[in-house]
């Protein structure tokens, strides 16, 4: 069985993190041109929101070690984020969109809404997020 190709971004979070991830997605889509734009948009939006959450909350605006692993499978995209930051406050199950005039607090709700599944696990020395895109026919 062939292992799926794994795209990895291993970085220390900072002001350039989101741009670094964006560049990685450009390379990934270049290698997988058949993935539909709607799937690309959704997984990228979700991954971006999780990365932002790691930078802002897990790191509390201090640098954290962050690793994004992306596997493009024939019918879905799997993304895993690992960081060595602080534990997520509250439960992912209770995440919902805030009031329309709220200026914060939408990130995780957005990620959940566009994914087939989003899970979070606190590890011994950090956090792990797993993102699964909607299924598609490659």
Residue of 7, 29, 35, 56 interacting with another protein (CB under 8 A): 56
Residue 42 or residue 126: which is nearer to another protein going by CB? 42
By the rule CB under 8 A, 52 interacts with another protein: yes
Site stretch for another protein (CB under 8 A), options 41-49, 62-70, 78-86, 123-131: 41-49
Contact 69, 96 (CB under 8 A): no
By the rule CB under 8 A, 102 interacts with another protein: yes
Nearest CA among 87, 81, 79, 80 for reference residue 59: 87
By the rule CB under 8 A, 49 interacts with another protein: yes
The rounded distance, in Å, linking the Cα atoms of 126 and 86 is: 7
Query: Which residues neighbour 9 within 8 Å (Cβ) at sequence distance 6 or greater?
Result: 20, 21, 24, 66, 67, 68
Written as six digits, the tokens of 75 are 């019918």
Site stretch for another protein (CB under 8 A), options 4-12, 46-54, 88-96, 127-135: 46-54
By the rule CB under 8 A, 83 interacts with another protein: no
Cα 67 to Cα 17, 19, 105, 128, distances in angstroms: 11, 14, 23, 10
The binding site for another protein (CB under 8 A) comprises: 15-19, 22, 37, 41, 44-45, 48-49, 52, 55-56, 97, 100-104, 106-107, 109-110, 113-114
């Amino acid at each position: 069985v062939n292992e799926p190709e794994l795209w990895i971004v291993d970085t220390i979070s900072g002001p350039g993190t989101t741009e670094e991830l964006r560049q990685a997605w450009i390379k990934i889509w270049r290698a997988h041109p058949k993935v539909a734009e709607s799937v690309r948009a959704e997984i990228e939006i979700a991954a971006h929101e999780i990365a932002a959450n790691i930078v802002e909350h897990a790191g509390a605006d201090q640098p954290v070690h962050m690793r994004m692993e992306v596997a493009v499978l024939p019918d879905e995209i799997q993304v895993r984020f690992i960081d060595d930051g602080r534990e997520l406050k509250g439960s992912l199950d209770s995440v919902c969109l805030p009031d329309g005039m709220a200026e914060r607090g939408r990130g995780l709700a957005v990620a959940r809404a566009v994914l087939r599944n989003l899970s979070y696990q606190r590890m011994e020395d950090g956090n792990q997020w797993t993102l699964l895109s909607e299924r598609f026919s490659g």
